[in-house]
Amino acid sequence: MRRCGQAFVPVLMVVLILTAFAVAMTTASRTEVHAALNQLHDAEAFTIAHGAVIFTAGQLEEATGGGATIPQLTVPPDTDANGWTQLGDGWFKVDIIDTASRLNINTASAESLAKLPQLQSDPNIAAAIVDWRDPDDQPTIGQDMVGAESDYYQSLNPPYSAKNAPFDTVDELLLVRGITPDLLYGPPTGQAQQLPGQPSSRASRQLSQPLTSLGSTQTSTPLAELVTTYSREWNVASDGTPRVNIKTASANDLQTRLGISARLAQALVQARGNNGANINSIADLLNVPGFTRTVMQQIGDKITVTNSQYREGVINVNTAPAEVLATIPGV
C-alpha cells in the first residue's frame, strides 16, 4: 500500500501539470481566436469602407461627367431610412460635403478663425490654431489674442511639440491649446443617433442635454462641421479661361483681357507698386481710383493675385452657412 501511495503522488503531479498545461493552452487558444476574429472584423470593416470609397468615386465620376457637372447620385439598393447601405455583413454611409462651404483651418487667418461662434469668447484659440500650422516657433500675437507654440505643449504631460505644418484632419484640432471635444464636436444634444438598419423610431445612443450658446453667438452647428482642412478650386474663370494676375499683368493685357479702359489699366499698374507689392488680394482693387464695385462685379471672376494652378481656402458663398460667411473679411 505504501508503494502504491508513493506511485500515486507522481501520477497525480503529472495529471496536475497536464491539466494546467491544457488550461493554459485553452486560454491561449481562446485569446488567439479572439485576436483572429478581431483581425477578421477589422479587415472586413476596412474592405467595406474601401469598397464604399471606390463605389462612390465611380458614381461621382459617372454622375458628374468627370467633374463637369453637379453630382446627382442614385441611392443604392439595400439602403435604410437613415442613409446606411448594407454590404455583406457590414454597412456604409456616404455623405457628399462641399468643403468650400467651410472655413479652411490651413489657410484662414487668426482674425477670420476668431469670428467662428465657438471661438469668439476666446480668440487665443484662433491664434493657437495658426501657430500649430505655421512653420515658426513664434507665438501669434494680435488684437486681444496670443497663440501657443511648442514651449507651451512641452510643458504638458505627456509633452509634445507644435506640428508647424498644415493640419491633416479636423480631429487634429484636439491637440491645439483650448480645443476640447465639446468645443469641436458640440456638447451632447439630447438627440438620438441612428445605427445602421434601425428604424427612425429607435435610438442607438441617448445624449444628455441640448446645445446652448457657444461664444457670443448661438449656433447648433458644431465647430467640426464649420471647418475643413481641404478646400480649393481651379484658378480659372467660370468659362474655363485662365485668370489674369493683376499683380504682374501688363497694362495692355489688363485692358484687352479684362475689357477695362486704358486709364483704369494704367491706374492699376501705378497703384500696385513693384512686383505688385501693394496688391495682396482682389479686394485691394477697391483702393485703386476708378475700380468701383460695378467694375469689380464685371471683372471679379477673371482676376487673381497668384499664378498658382489652384486657389486654396476659397469659400463658396452659395453653400456656406451664415457662421462661415461671417468670417469673410469685410462681411
Section 258-265 average pLDDT: 94
Q: Is 143 left (phi over 0), alpha (psi -120 to 50) or beta?
A: beta
Residue-level pLDDT at 75: 74
At position 57, the amino acid (one-letter code) is: A
CB-neighbour burial class of residue 151 (10 A; exposed 0-12, middle 13-18, buried 19+): exposed
Instruction: Identify which of 53-62, 149-158, 188-197 has the greatest average pLDDT.
Output: 149-158
**pLDDT confidence tier of residue 209, bands split at 50, 70 and 90:** very low
pLDDT at 61: 78
Average pLDDT value for residue range 49-74 = 74
| pLDDT tens profile 124-151 | 999 999 999 999 999 999 888 999 999 9
198: pLDDT strictly greater than 90 = no
Mean pLDDT of 225-245: 91
- More confident: 190 or 57: 57
CA dist 135 and 56 (Å) reads 36
Q: Give the pLDDT of residue 69.
A: 66
**Tens of pLDDT along 74-114?**
777 778 878 888 877 778 777 778 889 999 999 999 999 99
Using left for φ > 0, alpha for ψ between -120 and 50, and beta otherwise, residue 326 falls in: alpha
pTM of the model: 0.67
Cα end-to-end span (Å), the chain: 103
Beta bridge partners of 232: 312
Q: Residue 57: what pLDDT?
A: 80
The arithmetic mean of pLDDT across residues 276-294, rounded, is 89
CA distances to 38, 52, 96, 195, 196 from 41, in Å: 5, 16, 26, 18, 17
Give long-range contacts, CB 8 A cutoff, 24+ apart: 247-251: 247/272, 247/275, 247/276, 247/279, 247/305, 247/306, 248/275, 248/276, 248/307
Cβ neighbours of 167 (radius 10 Å):
21
Mean pLDDT value across the chain:
82
| Alpha-carbon span 148 to 137, nearest angstrom | 9
Window from 9-18, 103-112, 197-206 with minimum mean pLDDT: 197-206
Least confident of 157-171, 212-226, 316-330: 212-226
- pLDDT for position 264: 94
